[in-house]
Amino acid sequence: MLFGKREVRENGKALFRSKRTLLSSYSMEPERKKAILSLTRGMKIKGGEISPSQIVELAINISRKIARYKGRRKINASSQVIDFILPRKKYFKISIPATLRRSAASHHFPKVKASDLRASLQSGRGRVSLIIILDSSASMIYSIRGILTAFKAIKNEARKYRDRVSLIVSKGFGSAVAQYPTTNFNLVLSKFSVLGLDDFTPLASGMYRGYDLALRERRKGYEPVIVVISDGNVNVPLERYLKENTISHDPAVESVLEVARLIAKSKIETIVINTRHRSQPKDSNIIVTGTQLLTRVAKIVKGTYVGIVG
């Protein structure tokens, strides 16, 4: 059963918890509840256990569904009418030309009956752009395979909707776009296996680059979903001047939180995947572990948190 009685209060609303995985959300807005219910209805868990890759797949699909809903709302407000269809809902936008033509063909004109009504079909269907921010530190070597499995599972459905995917790598003392947005998921997945690993983790740089790319994708008509994959052990801050430290004396930690606030301000759907989830100490106000940092990021952006016990 996905919605059990066990909750992890320090990690938001726990949707699922097992020995190996935790899935929780820091926002239970109506759209998110609908997405969770529709995707988990009839879901079977063999032997009462579910693999981490399945949880990652579920989290990504929930966020894609929410982002697609947001994109459709924008489309309904500003897109062009390209055709007409039979009404399928109680409330709909009437296609006046199509309705009048049907009324005339049925010899009802100038009267219009309910059977003559036609609804407008608008262009677009809420396209999504997945922006993957990958921590390429040496400690991530054992986690890449499970993440790859999850992205392979969503590949076919994303291709159907013509969703885009991009890859940003945080490595060394900065970050770089390994793959700009494309509909070719295979191209992105192939780059996971050839990435080199490093002892430094400039996660803040990768998140900021992903934030900038998300804004550009939104201007092009795509609703972005940021996917942060890390163990939270950051050690390289942003180069620019930081605000006064309030949560941690570590500038690398403060840099990550500062970028998280920018993402939250832009209301970008975000998933945080912690590849080395650990139980948190009692004093959770002070950030001293990677798990504390990543759960704080998920809380700031009001996103989804996936903890994998590694």
Residue 304 is predicted with a pLDDT of 92
Nearest alpha-carbon partner for 227 in 282, 298, 137? 298
DSSP assignment, residue 91?
A: S
Domain boundaries, the chain: 9-75+125-308, 81-122
Residue 5 is predicted with a pLDDT of 38
Give phi and psi for 231, each to the nearest 5.
Answer: -100, 0
Q: Exposed, middle or buried: residue 203 (CB in 10 Å: 0-12, 13-18, 19+)?
A: buried
Query: 214 to each of 130, 219, 309, how far by Cα in Å?
Result: 9, 9, 29
Residues in contact with 306: Cβ distance below 8 Å, sequence separation at least 6, in sequence order: 21, 22, 23, 52, 55, 56, 59, 271, 272, 273, 274
Nearest alpha-carbon partner for 306 in 21, 2, 13? 21
CA pair distance 87, 114, nearest whole angstrom = 10
Cβ–Cβ < 8 Å for 40, 54: no
CA pair distance 16, 6, nearest whole angstrom = 8
pLDDT tens, residue by residue, 257-282: 999 999 999 999 999 999 888 877 65
pLDDT tens, residue by residue, 58-104: 888 888 888 887 766 554 444 555 566 788 777 777 888 888 888 88
CA pair distance 244, 137, nearest whole angstrom = 27
Amino acid at 93: K
* Interval 178-195 mean pLDDT: 84
Q: Bridge partners of 122?
A: 81
- Is the pLDDT at 44 greater than 60? The verdict is no
pLDDT tens, residue by residue, 144-163: 777 777 788 788 778 777 88
Q: Across the chain, what does the average pLDDT equal?
A: 79
Residues in contact with 165: Cβ distance below 8 Å, sequence separation at least 6, in sequence order: 129, 130, 131, 132, 158, 179, 181, 182, 183, 185, 188
List b or e across 178-187, with b for residues whose CB sees 16 or more CB atoms inside 10 angstroms: bbebeeebee
Amino acid at 66: I
Residues in contact with 47: Cβ distance below 8 Å, sequence separation at least 6, in sequence order: none
* Interval 46-57 mean pLDDT: 73
* Interval 134-141 mean pLDDT: 72
How would residue 9 be classed by pLDDT, with cut points 50, 70 and 90? very low
Return the top range by mean pLDDT from 120-134, 170-184, 191-205: 170-184
pLDDT tens, residue by residue, 202-259: 999 999 999 999 999 998 888 999 999 998 888 888 877 556 555 667 888 999 999 9
Altogether, the residues listed in the chain come to a count of 310
Share above pLDDT 70 across residues of the chain, in percent, rounded to a whole number:
78
Q: Three-state SS for 79?
A: coil
CATH topology of domain 9-75+125-308: Rossmann fold (3.40.50)
- Is the pLDDT at 310 greater than 70? The verdict is no
Residue 23 is predicted with a pLDDT of 87
User: What's the predicted TM-score (pTM) here?
Assistant: 0.77
CA pair distance 31, 304, nearest whole angstrom = 13
- Six token digits for residue 75: 């489309």
